Structure 1
Amino acid sequence: MLRALLGDELPVRFEFWDGSALGPARSVGTLHLRSADALRRILWAPGELGFARAFVVGDIDVTGPVPETLRALQTSMPDEIGVGVSALPATIVAARELGAIGTPLPPPDEELVPRGLRHSIGRDKRSVGHHYDVGNDFYRLVLGEAMTYSCARFVTSDTTLPQAQAAKHELICRKLGLADPEVRAACDGDRPRLLDVGCGWGTMAMHAAAHHDVDVVGVTISDEQAALARRRVGEAGLAERVEIRIQDYREITDGPFDAISSIGMAEHVGEARMDEYFERLHELLRPHGRVMNHAIASFGGSRLSRSSFVGRYIFPDGELFDLGDTVAAMHRAGLEVRDVENLREHYARTLRCWVDNLEARWDDAVALVGERRARAWLLYMGGSVNGFDDAGLQLFQTLGVRDDGSGASAMAPTRRSFDPT
């Protein structure tokens, strides 16, 4: 049956609940099918969703490095698992004998299919809450003390994850010109104001306030993120300079700001609201103010399908923009794009660090969020490593400046002022 589903050349070893096995004795990893329900789930939801459901509930386990094992499966198998017409009768007989035929099994409770108007404020809050409100302790375990859930920047081969996250924040601060004399002169003696859209647990806001003497407003629509961010800001002695709000970017009314950072937030905006998003950021900027859009992208753009694993378990309603569409939308909003940098290799390395953290403290993670959610995260991060490694996923930092029509941008003519190394 398995050969009918996957073909003759099995990319990894498969071991079954009855002690039998298929595939090479030595391979990058081994898939353990713990019961016939694993096949049943795959038959009823061919492709990644059926596999993911089986993995999340524990009907499938992986021995060996998860990213590399998933990579072997991805490169050696068709996009959708299917059965040829000639093999169908034998497959049905084998599936019946194995107990893999029956009514569909219910999906795990960890799945979410959002309801309501797509990318409305209420639906976005529910979708974001599904992802981020799983517990701050779990995120601290996975992300480390930096508490930063976005691509880091590894300056050297031995840069640690906390150092790499600080380097990323410093790079963004420099691209935004927070220390540039022209920016500070425009503030008439006041500290520059930074808006951090999708501020997470406040790390970027704290870095900017502590290292660049700015006032920061950080907004998030995750209740748990905001609670911890406020506590961290207070413990760092930055409460007078950093304000954390539970607020959607569409509800901000107290501009102008001298700079705006949006780090890992645009993926939640949606293509239909892309113009509205950049127009709103433009409205909130002073003339010549800068905005940094730091976001995962894919060529041609992509909407995470309801039938995809990531769309059901990780990022409901998530959408990735094409870089060209991002640049065009920024231009339409009156933001001149002045710099674009791709950090995709850095994101692959960041994800490997997160996978290592999760696996090193697996029992603690299970105690915090339950085994199924921990398994979903392991599958998500392990699979995402491959997306950035093979360039199917990109991470672009796109810097825009509010155009006032004069042609002046208050930008340095080279990148030299950007690089803190």
Structure 2
Amino acid sequence: MWPHFKKMHKKRKQSIMSNAVAQDLMTIADIVEATTTAPIPFHITAFDGSFTGPEDAPYQLFVANTDAVSYIATAPGDLGLARAYLMGDLIVEGEHPGHPYGIFDALKEFYRCFKRPDASTTLQIMWTLRKMNALKFQEIPPMEQAPAWRKALINGLASRHSKSRDKKAISYHYDVGNEFYSLFLDDSMTYTCAYYPTPESSLEEAQENKYRLIFEKLRLKEGDRLLDVGCGWGGMVRYAAKHGVKAIGVTLSEQQYEWGQAEIKRQGLEDLAEIRFMDYRDVPETGFDAISAIGIIEHIGVNNYPDYFELLSSKLKTGGLMLNHSITYPDNRPRHAGAFIDRYIFPDGELTGSGTLIKHMQDNGFEVLHEENLRFDYQRTLHAWCENLKENWEEAVELAGEPTARLFGLYMAGSEWGFAHNIVQLHQVLGVKLDEQGSRGEVPERMWWTI
């Protein structure tokens, strides 16, 4: 496509540029060159026949139409670029759309190249965009969620992380379709960080090993009772039941619930395993031996951590253990995840540092016994998911549509890059509920599990 496109438009470039100058307009390449410092890490070719950037750049961007320019001009930064990419108006060549991992290094470098043009050039850019009709707001991609401020106006400020709003947020991300998720997850349908016994282990082996690690950390044994909050498709629930533990899992995703319950029945685990379509706050039982929370606290909201840990502590018997497994920042400075994540991936999702998690566990019913960072395991997990999506790309597009397939490819590849570059981490924190005298009961002093 690219050689043909270049041949077709190279001859037009001089006349187009001359015409643009005559009308005091700029080409797309002119705008890029006016707002960046060379060399940029992309070769950019536009619908108007102009192009800029090194021809041997590893990635080539094709600005296909004025819609792409409009998306970027009306929402500068990640959000506008994502909109244009998801809608197919900004085309990336150089890597498969189901696994564009390396492009994030190029994007980071590209952002460093941006500069503020002088006043006259800025006016000329704005005039060009206006004449191009590129300052109008385009139709928002169908999967984009409303921004936080609009949700607040619609639902009221007090409704953030209410049960109804949390249910909608979880359904948005996890109810895309079980068939779609099965294209990149392993057979257990586990959508959380695996734990690789060796870097060469398969995804299936690593996910099984993750459940083994959590099971051992929680000191579970036959006859015990486990509550798994935010259980997903029920991988931890089934693992525990296979080892004689009575396990209840809860999820706000109806499709996860339906698939998980069917799989429990298929494996003959109904006597020990159960998944409920339920908010964790509505679980009536208490006196559990252990609680696993694998990838749920990202959806809870930092301001709700005290209530979250206090409630889960109340569900445990004295001496009971809780393991919180979650994505974190590498520090404890508060920040927003950004518009792309909030509107396209995890609406109302929030991250914090492991220190903040530990503080709230300690302040609300738990003695913290152990914590560890598994960020490289999540990097490997995401790489495996991206490779699976790439291998099943055509089917993914057929099932969910190309914008959604592109969205998951972009999100998972960007997350892989983020774990590799310490933008985010994955921490497991283990705590125990003490009695009134500060005793752990039978919980040992030293680590008892196999790493």
User: What TM-score do you get using the length of structure 1 for normalisation?
Assistant: 0.91
The residue identity in structure 2 corresponding to 1:37 is D
- Among 195, 198, 209, the residue aligned to 1:156: 198
Q: Partner of 2:183: helix, strand, or coil?
A: helix
**Cα distance in 2 between the residues matched to 1:82 and 1:332:** 47
Contact 1:28 1:68 in 2 (8 A): no
> Match for residue 91 of structure 1?
125
**Cα distance in 2 between the residues matched to 1:340 and 1:301:** 19
> Match for residue 188 of structure 1?
none
- Among 111, 120, 132, the residue aligned to 1:77: 111
**Cα distance in 2 between the residues matched to 1:247 and 1:333:** 23
The residue identity in structure 1 corresponding to 2:236 is M
Equivalent residues in 2 for 1:166-177, closer than 5 Å: 166-177=208-219
> Match for residue 112 of structure 1?
145
The residue identity in structure 1 corresponding to 2:311 is R
Contact 2:36 2:113 in 1 (8 A): no
How has the CA–CA distance of structure 1 residues 301 and 202 changed in structure 2, closer, same or farther, with 3 Å as cutoff?
farther
> Match for residue 165 of structure 2?
123
Equivalent residues in 2 for 1:25-36, closer than 5 Å: 25-36=55-66
The residue identity in structure 1 corresponding to 2:101 is P
Deviation per CA, 1:162-186: give whole Å up to 9, x if none: 111111111111111114xxxx7xx
> Match for residue 323 of structure 2?
292
How has the CA–CA distance of structure 1 residues 231 and 304 changed in structure 2, closer, same or farther, with 3 Å as cutoff?
farther
Residue 216 of structure 1: how far off its partner (Å): 0.1
The residue identity in structure 1 corresponding to 2:190 is T
**Cα distance in 1 between the residues matched to 2:274 and 2:32:** 56
* CA RMSD across the alignment: 2.0
Q: Check if 1:364 corresponds to 2:395.
A: yes
**Cα distance in 1 between the residues matched to 2:416 and 2:267:** 33
**Cα distance in 2 between the residues matched to 1:384 and 1:79:** 23
Q: Partner of 2:184: helix, strand, or coil?
A: helix
**Cα distance in 2 between the residues matched to 1:326 and 1:84:** 46
> Match for residue 187 of structure 1?
none
Deviation per CA, 1:202-234: give whole Å up to 9, x if none: 111111111x31000000011110000001111
Contact 1:4 1:84 in 2 (8 A): no
Q: Check if 1:44 corresponds to 2:43.
A: no
> Match for residue 68 of structure 1?
102
Equivalent residues in 2 for 1:240-319, closer than 5 Å: 240-298=271-329, 299-300=331-332, 304=336, 308-319=339-350
**Cα distance in 1 between the residues matched to 2:305 and 2:113:** 29
How has the CA–CA distance of structure 1 residues 404 and 294 changed in structure 2, closer, same or farther, with 3 Å as cutoff?
same
User: What TM-score do you get using the length of structure 2 for normalisation?
Assistant: 0.86
Q: Computing the radius of gyration over CA atoms, which structure comes out larger, 1 or 2?
A: 2
> Match for residue 200 of structure 1?
232
How has the CA–CA distance of structure 1 residues 380 and 17 changed in structure 2, closer, same or farther, with 3 Å as cutoff?
same
How has the CA–CA distance of structure 1 residues 81 and 136 changed in structure 2, closer, same or farther, with 3 Å as cutoff?
farther
Q: How many residues align?
A: 406
Q: Partner of 2:372: helix, strand, or coil?
A: strand
The residue identity in structure 1 corresponding to 2:265 is G
Deviation per CA, 1:71-109: give whole Å up to 9, x if none: 221244149986554530232244356x25231112111
How has the CA–CA distance of structure 1 residues 174 and 82 changed in structure 2, closer, same or farther, with 3 Å as cutoff?
farther
Q: Structure 1: state its 5+ residue gaps.
A: 185-190
How has the CA–CA distance of structure 1 residues 407 and 200 changed in structure 2, closer, same or farther, with 3 Å as cutoff?
same
**Cα distance in 1 between the residues matched to 2:45 and 2:197:** 41
**Cα distance in 2 between the residues matched to 1:329 and 1:239:** 35
Q: Check if 1:234 corresponds to 2:243.
A: no
- Between the aligned residues of both structures, percent identity stands at 39
How has the CA–CA distance of structure 1 residues 68 and 82 changed in structure 2, closer, same or farther, with 3 Å as cutoff?
farther
Residue 32 of structure 1: how far off its partner (Å): 2.2
- Among 174, 198, 210, the residue aligned to 1:132: 174
**Cα distance in 2 between the residues matched to 1:404 and 1:84:** 67
- Among 15, 27, 30, the residue aligned to 2:45: 15
How has the CA–CA distance of structure 1 residues 149 and 301 changed in structure 2, closer, same or farther, with 3 Å as cutoff?
farther
Residue 17 of structure 1: how far off its partner (Å): 2.7
Q: Check if 1:405 corresponds to 2:450.
A: no
Question: Runs of 4 or more off by more than 4 Å in structure 1?
Answer: 78-84, 301-305
Contact 1:30 1:69 in 2 (8 A): no
